[in-house]
Structure 1
Amino acid sequence: MDIIRLTYPHLNVDLTYPESVVAIGSFDGLHKGHMAVIQAAKDIASEQGRASAVMTFDPHPSVVLNKHKPAKMEHITPLDKKIELLEQMGVDRVFLVTFNKELSSLLPQQFVDQFFIGLNIRHVVAGFDFSYGHMGKGNMDTLPFHARGLLNQTIITKVMNNDEKISSTFIRSLLREGKMEKVASLLGRPYAIKGTVIQGDQRGRTIGFPTANMEVEETYITPPVGVYAVQVKVGDAYYEGMANVGYKPTFYQEEKQLSVEVNLFDFKGNLYGEQLEVLWHRYVRNEIKFNGVEALMDQLKKDERQIRDFFQHN
C-alpha cells in the first residue's frame, strides 16, 4: 500500500498517479460506518479497473478548527493503527493530507482542483455529511458543480446499529462509560490501545498475579477505572488476561497517578520494554479497596475464573 503525504499547495499534477476511486473522510475510529464508505470505494474501483484510495487528514480537523479543543486529541484509532487497518482492508493507496489553517481556508473549488482533479481521482465516495472547503461550504451536493464533469461521486447514507447512528462521537461516549462490548459491535472489532511496559512496584508477583505496568501512548482514550477482560498482543501472539485501570487503593491511600496494568494468563517471560497492544473485550467490575491482601487475592482469583469463562464462551 502506497502512502502519499500531501501539504497544500502540493506540486503533484494530473496523471502523476493512476486513475483512482477515493474514499474521503477523517475516519477517526474506522467504525462500521467508515468501513462502508471505504468498502464502497474498493468495490467501485474493482468494477472500473481503477486503483482504490483513501484520503484522510492529519491532524484531525477539530484540532485546527475548534478553538476550545485541546492541542492534542485522544483518538479512537490513532494514525498508525488507521494505516495498519487500511492496509489489512487491501486499499491500494492512502493520501495523507496535512490539515492546517491554509488547507481550511481553501475555497471549495480550490480543494476539488487540488486534491481531486489534480491527483487524477475519477470517483469520490463519502458519507452523506462530508464537507470540504472553507467553513465546510462544499459538500456532496455541490461536488458535481465543482467537478465540472471530470469525476463522479457516490454518497453513503448513515449506517445504523439497532436504530442508532454509528458515529465517532457516540463511540467516544461509550468508551468513557466502559461499555466495551457495545464499542466492539460498532467498530467491528474490540477497542485497542498500545503502550510500552515500564518498571512497576512488582507487588503483583508477590501475590501470584504478576502484571505488566503499561505506559499508554497519549493519543489513545484510556478506558475508565475498573477491571476488564482483555486480550494482549505480544509480538505476533495473543494472550487472554485481565487489565486493571485505576489507583490501587488497597496499597495506596492517596495515589494520584492513574495506572494501566495487565495480567497475561499462561504467559511466561519478561515484558519490560515491550510494546503491547491491549484489546478490551468486557468491563468486569469497578476498582475496590480491599481489607488486606488476602481479600484482594480472593477477588483476583474470582476475576480470573470469570474472565476465562467469558473467553471460553465467546
Structure 2
Amino acid sequence: MEIINIHHPHAFNGDEFPPLAIALGYFDGVHAGHQKVIQTAIEAGKEKGLHTAVMTFDPHPSVVLNKEVKHVRQLTPMKEKVELLEQMGIDYLFIVHFTKEFASLSPQSFVEKYLISLNAKHIVAGFDYTYGHRGKGTMEDLPHYSEGKLAQTIVSKQELDAEKISSTRIRKELLAGNMEETARLLGRGFTVKGHVIDGEKRGRLLGFPTANIEVGKDYYLPGVGVYCVRMLVKGAWHNGICNVGYKPTFHSVKDEIPTVEVHLLDFEDNIYGEDVCIEWNTRIRDEKKFEGLEALVAQLEKDKKCAIEYFENF
C-alpha cells in the first residue's frame, strides 16, 4: 500500500495515479461498518479494473474546527489505521492534512481537487458522509458536482442488533468494559499498543509481577477494572490479566490518566523496554481498594484463576 500525504493546496493532476475506486471517511476504529464501505470500494475496483484507495484525514476535524477541543483520543490512531487498511488490501492511502483552509473548500472544489484530480473514477462512502464547507456536500449531490465524471456507491446504514454500528457506540461499550460487544462491533478484538516501562515494582513483591505499559495519549482505553487479556510480546501472544485504573489500595489521589498493568500467566522473561500489543478479551471485575495486602493477594489469586479458566475455553 502506497501512502500519499496531501497538504492543501496540492499540485496533483491525476497523471500520478491509475484510475481509482476511492472509499471516503475518517474511519476511526475501522469497525464493521467502515469495513463494509472499504470492501465495497475494493469490489467496485475489481469489477471495473480500478486500483483501490482510501481517503482519510489528519488531525481529527474537531481539533481544527472546535476551539474547545485540543486533543482527540481515538479507537485507532493513525499508525494502527494504516496497518488495518493495508491488511484489507488497499493500494493507496490518501491522508489529507486537515486545516481550516481545506475545510473551507466548497463541495464543488473538493470534488474537483480531491477526487477528479486524483484520477478517481468510482467513489464509495456511507449514507451520511458529507464533504465541503460545513458538510454541505452529500453523496446524493456527487453526480451534480462531478458533472457525471464519477460513478458512486452509497453504503446504507450498517446495523448490529437493530442499532447503527458507529465509533460513538463502540466507545460507549468500551468505557463500560463490555469487551465482547466492542469486539462484535469492531469485527475484531480491541487492541492497544504500548511500551513496557519501569513501574512501582510492588507486583513482584506480592508474587504477581506486572508489566507497566505506557500507552500513547491518542488511545481510548477500556473502563477502569480488571480484565482477561492477551499480550503480544516479541512476536508471541501470552495470556494474562490486566488492571486499568488508579491503584486505590496504594494511592489516595487519582492520576490524570489511568495506569495499565499486565500480569502474564506462566511468563517470567524480563521485557522492560519492549513494544507490546494488548488485546482485551473480557472484564473480570471493578477496581477496588483493599484494606491490606493479604486481601489484595487473595483477590489477585481469584483473578488469575478466573483468567486461566477463561482462556481454557478461549
Question: Which secondary structure state, in structure 2, belongs to the residue aligned with residue 269 of structure 1?
Answer: coil
Within 5 Å, give how 1:61-210 maps onto structure 2. 61-68=61-68, 70-210=69-209
Among all aligned residue pairs of Structure 1 and Structure 2, give the percentage whose two residues are the same amino acid: 50
Q: Quick one: structure 1 residues 256 and 20, their matched pair in 2 at CA, closer, same or farther if it must change by over 3 Å?
A: closer
Amino acid across the alignment from 1:174: E
* Alignment correspondent of 1:233: 232
Instruction: Kindly provide the amino acid, as one letter, of the partner of residue 184 in structure 1.
Output: A
Hey, what's the Cα distance between the residues in 1 that align with 2:251 and 2:144?
64
Q: Which segment is superposed worse, 266-275 or 93-102? A: 266-275
Give the Å deviation of 1:127: 0.1
| Structure 1 stretch displaced more, 12-21 or 249-258 | 249-258
Measure, in 1, the Cα distance between the counterparts of 2:240 and 2:206.
Answer: 16
Are 2:312 and 1:312 aligned? Answer: yes
Deviation at 1:66, TM superposition (A): 2.7
**TM-score normalized by structure 2?**
0.96
The aligned amino acid for 1:194 is K
Aligned to 1:16: 16
Report the 3-state secondary structure (helix = DSSP H, G, I; strand = E; otherwise coil) of the residue aligned with 1:276.
strand
Structure-1 separation of matches of 2:30 and 2:255: 33
* 1:60 maps to amino acid: H
Q: Distance in 2 between matches of 1:53 and 1:156?
A: 16
Question: 2:113, 2:101 → 1: CA distance?
Answer: 13
Distance 2:185 2:14 in 1: 38
- Which of 220-229 and 288-297 deviates more? 288-297
What root-mean-square deviation, in Å, do the aligned CA atoms of Structure 1 and Structure 2 show? Answer: 1.2
* Structure 1 residue 172 displacement after superposition: 1.3
Q: Which amino acid aligns with 2:248?
A: P
Range moving further from structure 2, 103-112 or 260-269: 260-269
* Alignment deviations for residues 168-227 of structure 1 (CA, whole Å, 9 cap, x no partner): 111111122111111111001111112211111111111211001111100001222210
Alpha-carbon distance between aligned partners in 1 of 2:31 and 2:143, rounded to the nearest angstrom = 27
Per-residue deviation, 1:255: 5.0
User: In structure 2, how many angstroms separate the alpha carbons of the residues matched to 1:308 and 1:302?
Assistant: 10
Counterpart in the other structure of 1:302: 302
1:246 and 2:254 equivalent? no
Tell me whether 109-118 or 192-201 shows the greater mean CA deviation.
192-201
In 1, Cα distance between the equivalents of 2:234 and 2:142?
45
The alpha carbon displacement at 1:304 in A equals: 1.1
Greater Cα offset, 105-114 or 241-250 = 241-250
Residue-by-residue CA offset, 1:27-61 (whole Å, 9 max, x unaligned): 01111000000000001111111101111001111
Which amino acid in structure 2 is aligned with residue 7 of structure 1? H
